[in-house]
Amino acid sequence: MSKNIRIISSLNEMNEFSNELKRGSKKIAFVPTMGALHEGHLSLVSRANQIADHTVVSIFVNPMQFGQNEDFGNYTRDLEGDTDKLSSYKVDAVFLPDSKDIYPENFQTYLEVTEIQKELCGKSRPGHFRGVATVVLKLFNIVQPDYAVFGQKDFQQLKVIERFVKDLHLGVEIIPMPIVREEDGLALSSRNAYLSEEERARALSLSKALYAISQRFRDGCKDAGLLVEEGMNILNNSDVNDIDYLEIRDSQNLELIKTAQSGNLVAVAAKIGNTRLIDNIIL
Ligand code: AMP
C-alpha cells in the first residue's frame, strides 16, 4: 500500500482531521468516489488540488444507492490500486468509512430531491438518488469541505447534489468537471472493467450516438424527436437492444424538451450484457 497517504476510517477522526486542516482559514476540496479509480476520478482530484489548500478523497461503495438486483456485491474494490493512483496527487486523507458506521442500527433518516430524482435513471433505479443524496450529505457533514468536485458523467447525480446544497443552504461549493473519455470516445467508468471485448465494441455506440446527435444539431436539426431517432438508429445498428433511455432534456430541471437548443442535455443509459452504462453530452 502506498506509504504516504493517510487513510482514515473513523468518522470522528475524519471530522477532527478536517477541523485541523481548516485551521488558519485553509480550504478543503472533497472528491467522493466509490473507488476503482480511473482517469475520470483523477481529473477531479487534480482539480481539487488546484482549487483548495487540502484535498480529501472518500472511497465508499454505498449500499443504499444500489437496487436489489444491482452490482453492489460485485462492484470492484481495489484499495491498494486506488491509493497507488492517488499517491501521484496531493491527497491529505483518503476517507474510507465503514458501512456500519455510516448506517448504524436504527438509521432512518433520508434525503430526497423530489423532482430531479424522478427522471432518467430515477425511473429504472428507484431509491438510487435517495441513496446518493443521503450519503453525500452525510459525507459533507463529516468532511466539512469548502468545495466538492463531481463529474458530469453522472449528470443527474450532479443536479441532485446541486439542488440539495441550494435547498438546504449548505456552505459547500459544487465544482462540476467534464467527462473524461477513452481516445475512441467511450466514457471512462469503473463498470467498463466488466465488459468483454465484444461488449466494449458495442458500448462504444453510446458515445457515437451522442456525437451523431450533436453533429446533426450543429447541422441545423432542432427537432428533438428526429435527433433522438438518429441516435437510436446507431444504437440499434450496433445491437444495443436493452436501451433504458436516450433523451434530450433541459440541463437544469431535466424536463423533456421538443425543440433542442444549445445547452440541452442528451443523455443515454443502456445495458450492454449485464453492465448498465450511462453517458451524456451537452449540445
Ligand atoms: P463513482 O466512483 O462512479 O461514484 O464516481 C465518483 C465521481 O467520479 C463522480 O463525481 C463521477 O461523476 C466522477 N466520474 C466518474 N467517471 C467519470 C468520467 N469518465 N469523467 C469525469 N468524472 C467521472
Q: What is the pLDDT of residue 241?
A: 87
Give 19's strand partners: none
**Using one digit for the tens of pLDDT, what is the confidence trace for 54-91?**
999 999 999 999 999 899 999 999 999 999 999 999 99
Cα of 41 vs centre of ligand 1, distance in Å, is 5
Q: Which residue's alpha carbon is nearest to atom 6 within ligand 1?
A: 33
CB neighbour burial string for 181-212, b if at least 16 within 10 angstroms, e if fewer: eeeeebbbbbbbebbeeebbebbbbbbbbbeb
How much is the pLDDT for 55? 98
What's the pLDDT at 53? 98
Closest-lying ligand 1 atom to the alpha carbon of residue 149? 10
Atom of ligand 1 nearest to the CA of 189: 16
Q: What is the pLDDT along the chain (283 residues), one digit of tens a residue?
A: 455 899 999 999 999 999 999 999 999 999 999 999 999 999 999 999 999 999 999 999 999 999 998 999 999 999 999 999 999 999 999 999 999 999 999 999 999 999 999 999 999 999 999 999 999 999 999 999 999 999 999 999 999 999 999 999 999 999 999 999 999 999 999 999 999 999 999 999 999 999 999 999 999 999 999 999 999 999 999 999 899 999 999 999 999 999 999 999 999 999 999 999 999 999 9
pLDDT for the residue 3: 58
**CA distances, 52 to each of 60, 137, 146, 175 (Å):** 22, 20, 8, 12
Domains of the chain by start residue, with CATH = 6-177 (3.40.50.620), 190-282 (3.30.1300.10)
Reply yes or no on whether 38 is catalytic: no
By most ligand atoms within 8 Å of CB, the mutation choice from 82, 154, 180 for ligand 1 is 154
> By C-alpha distance, which of 131, 3, 7 is closest to 57?
7
Atom of ligand 1 nearest to the CA of 178: 21
Alpha carbon of 55 to those of 7, 94, 149, 273: distances in Å?
Answer: 13, 9, 10, 37
12: which 3 cell numbers?
470522528
Nearest CA to ligand 1 atom 11: 151
What's the pLDDT at 123?
96
Q: Residue 164 has what pLDDT?
A: 98
Output the pLDDT for position 230. 97
Distance separating alpha carbons of residues 191 and 10, to the nearest angstrom:
28
Residue of 30, 41, 96, 186 to mutate, ligand 1, most atoms within 8 A of C-beta: 41
